[in-house]
């Protein structure tokens, strides 16, 4: 039984893409995969409901049968940090709700992937950051980093912050967000690897919107470019 929390060095770095791809690799092998996206902001309103695009993507890729309200307990319309969006929308956040959902799912799934909102220091309520949720669930961390200039600093800061708070970092996955590459993109994974003993698990190449939406194309890409064996997910 494997459980991981997926965080990013920033927002928009590809956490959902990587998490969905990993989920699809295992699901098509017959593994029962559970996914959680506890907080999603910037949801699109469809009638009276809010559609959490990232949570729906994870559900689709993993074929997780749980209702979207279970996969994503806190859905908010404003594209802000969960704490800020929740205040604007008069939503009361209770982290024990997430723990209860996670513990219930843990008894029924071989693999569970929990995806955060943004990075480790994103506030979830008045007193808790994302890293506190990771501590509460006691999960090892997968860090998704963008490949471009600036990622060395962001990645090492994320790893350092996790370790200072007793969170085990299982690995780093780089994601190429644009088709252009330069020396920074080709050298960043090696440099990050030189400055931390956390394994660099791979680099996901740039994928078009069509390729990202193709479940098996994405899974094949993850399987080819990410060392899932190092996570015990071979």
| Cβ atoms 133, 143 nearer than 8 A | no
Please pick, among 37, 59, 215, 224, the residue that the annotation labels catalytic. 37
Spell out a b/e string for 162-196, using b for 16 or more CB atoms within 10 Å of the CB, else e: beeeebebbbbbbbbbeeeeeeebeebbeebeeee
| Cβ atoms 29, 222 nearer than 8 A | no
The yes-or-no answer on residue 215 being catalytic is no
The CA-based diameter of the chain, rounded to the nearest angstrom, is 50
> In terms of DSSP bridges, do strands 39-40 and 141-146 run parallel, antiparallel, or are they unpaired?
unpaired
Active site amino acids: 37
């Amino acid at each position: 039984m494997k459980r991981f929390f997926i965080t990013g060095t920033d927002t928009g770095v590809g956490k959902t893409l990587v998490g969905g791809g990993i989920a699809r690799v295992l699901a098509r092998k017959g593994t029962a995969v559970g996914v959680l996206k506890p907080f999603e902001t910037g949801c699109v309103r469809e009638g009276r409901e809010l559609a959490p695009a990232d949570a729906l993507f994870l559900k689709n890729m993993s074929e997780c049968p749980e209702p979207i309200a279970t996969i994503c307990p806190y859905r908010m319309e404003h594209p802000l940090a969960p704490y800020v969006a929740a205040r604007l929308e008069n939503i009361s956040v209770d982290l024990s709700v997430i723990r209860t959902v996670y513990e219930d799912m843990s008894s029924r799934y071989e693999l569970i992937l929990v995806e955060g909102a943004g990075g480790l220091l994103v506030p979830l309520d008045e007193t808790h950051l994302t890293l506190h949720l990771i501590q509460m669930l006691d999960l090892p961390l997968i860090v998704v980093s963008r490949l471009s200039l600036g990622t060395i600093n962001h990645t090492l800061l994320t790893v350092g912050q996790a370790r200072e708070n007793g969170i085990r970092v299982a690995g780093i996955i780089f994601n190429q967000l644009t088709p252009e590459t330069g020396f920074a993109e080709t050298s960043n994974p090696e440099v990050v690897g030189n400055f931390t003993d956390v394994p660099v698990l791979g680099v996901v190449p740039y994928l078009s919107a069509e390729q990202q939406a193709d479940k098996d194309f994405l899974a094949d890409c993850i399987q080819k470019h990410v060392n899932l064996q190092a996570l015990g997910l071979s």
